[in-house]
Amino acid sequence: MSFNHRSLLGLRELTDEEILYILDEAKAFRNILDRDIKKVPTLRWLTVMNLFYEPSTRTRLSFELAEKRLSADVVNFSKSTSSIKKGESLRDTVNNILAMKVDMVVVRHSSVGAPDYISRTTGVPVINAGDGTNEHPTQALLDLYTIREKFDHFNGLKVTILGDIRHSRVARSNIWGLKKLGANVVICAPKTLLPPNPDVFGVEWTTEIESALKDAQVVNVLRLQLERQQAGYIPSLREYRMFWGLTGERVKLLDPDHIIMHPGPMNRGVEIEPEVADADDSVILRQVTNGVAVRMAVLYILARKLKD
């Protein structure tokens, strides 16, 4: 199986075979994470820069851990402690980093297309760790891995993505990936939090939470970005919780054999009730564990292409 990309910018550009190839590779790395010694020497020749222009807990730490588990050298850059504070541009920042002989860049940025820009202007492999409202491919890959771990397939599974679809890069990457793998994707949000033209995704969309949840095998609850309330997208957090929150009662609508997912960070008591987030059918922390293995697989696949 070949992977025909130098960078991982999004799932929209991957084939179903390429996505499954990453998930298959991730399985081997997931086994390593269960060993006493979780480190392998595979990428000890590689230097990776983690370039985070936006806050992150899971993605940044997960990439750093994945890189260290593979014995790569790791350099972390965060906006708040860098010369961006003195007005340095993205282009100059990246060129200076590359002058220090970095082999690969992981980037999170608030602007759509920033990872693509770095990839095109430098020729260095880039992994998109989330760009604006566009894509968050490694989050979707770890979500896919977690779904496959439970059901062993995607064909015909009803996967409901619930919440702020309009502003969510996680939703977009999940939609592109799940569609390619044959899942039946339903997106559900209040009208104001659906994209202006939801038909562009080519999936079922609805504003009716009961029908969205009915008989779903997977529900992926998205974080309500709290600043949306100030921007007038929702009347209040209390109403959002009442009409759109995943409660214990609403969980009863799902297929009896289901999983509950959330990419984090969660607003407990807003988009998801604490007892739902912590229940046995919740795989939220499994997603985080699987994320390290999936990121190890992506790093390994792209690094191997550097040696081709």
For the stretch 47-61, what's the b/e string if a residue is b when 16 or more beta carbons lie within 10 angstroms of its beta carbon? ebbbbbbbebebbbe
Separation between Cα atoms, residue 146 and residue 49, nearest integer Å = 27
Phi, psi angle pair for 221, to nearest 5°: -90, 130
* Nearest residue to 218 (alpha-carbon basis) of 191, 258, 180: 258
Separation between Cα atoms, residue 275 and residue 157, nearest integer Å = 25
Q: Which is nearer to ligand CP, 42 or 295 (CB)?
A: 295
Which of the ranges 35-43, 191-199, 228-236, 263-271 carries the binding residues for ligand CP, by CB under 6 A? 263-271
Q: Which is nearer to ligand CP, 142 or 189 (CB)?
A: 142
Please say whether the beta carbons of 10 and 128 come within 8 A.
yes
Q: Which is nearer to ligand CP, 14 or 129 (CB)?
A: 129
Q: Which is nearer to ligand CP, 63 or 233 (CB)?
A: 63
Out of 21, 211, 264, 305, the only residue in the binding site for ligand CP (CB under 6 A) is 264
Which of the ranges 42-50, 64-72, 111-119, 257-265 carries the binding residues for ligand CP, by CB under 6 A? 257-265
Q: How many residues sit close enough to ligand CP to count as binding (CB under 6 A)?
A: 10
Q: How far is the CB of 149 from ligand CP (least distance, A)?
A: 18
State both tokens at 199: 């038909």
Out of 123, 202, 265, 274, the only residue in the binding site for ligand CP (CB under 6 A) is 265
Q: Which is nearer to ligand CP, 42 or 131 (CB)?
A: 131
Binding map of ligand CP across residues 18-57, x = CB under 6 A, - = no contact = --------------------------------------xx
Separation between Cα atoms, residue 69 and residue 44, nearest integer Å = 10
Q: How far is the CB of 293 from ligand CP (least distance, A)?
A: 15
Q: Is 82 in the site for ligand CP (CB under 6 A)?
A: no
113: left (phi over 0), alpha (psi -120 to 50) or beta: left
Separation between Cα atoms, residue 160 and residue 129, nearest integer Å = 23
Q: Is 132 in the site for ligand CP (CB under 6 A)?
A: no
Q: Which is nearer to ligand CP, 134 or 139 (CB)?
A: 139
Separation between Cα atoms, residue 263 and residue 284, nearest integer Å = 7
Separation between Cα atoms, residue 31 and residue 224, nearest integer Å = 33
Q: Is 59 in the site for ligand CP (CB under 6 A)?
A: yes
Out of 158, 261, 263, 299, the only residue in the binding site for ligand CP (CB under 6 A) is 263
Interface positions with ligand CP (CB under 6 A)? 56-59, 130, 136, 139, 263-265
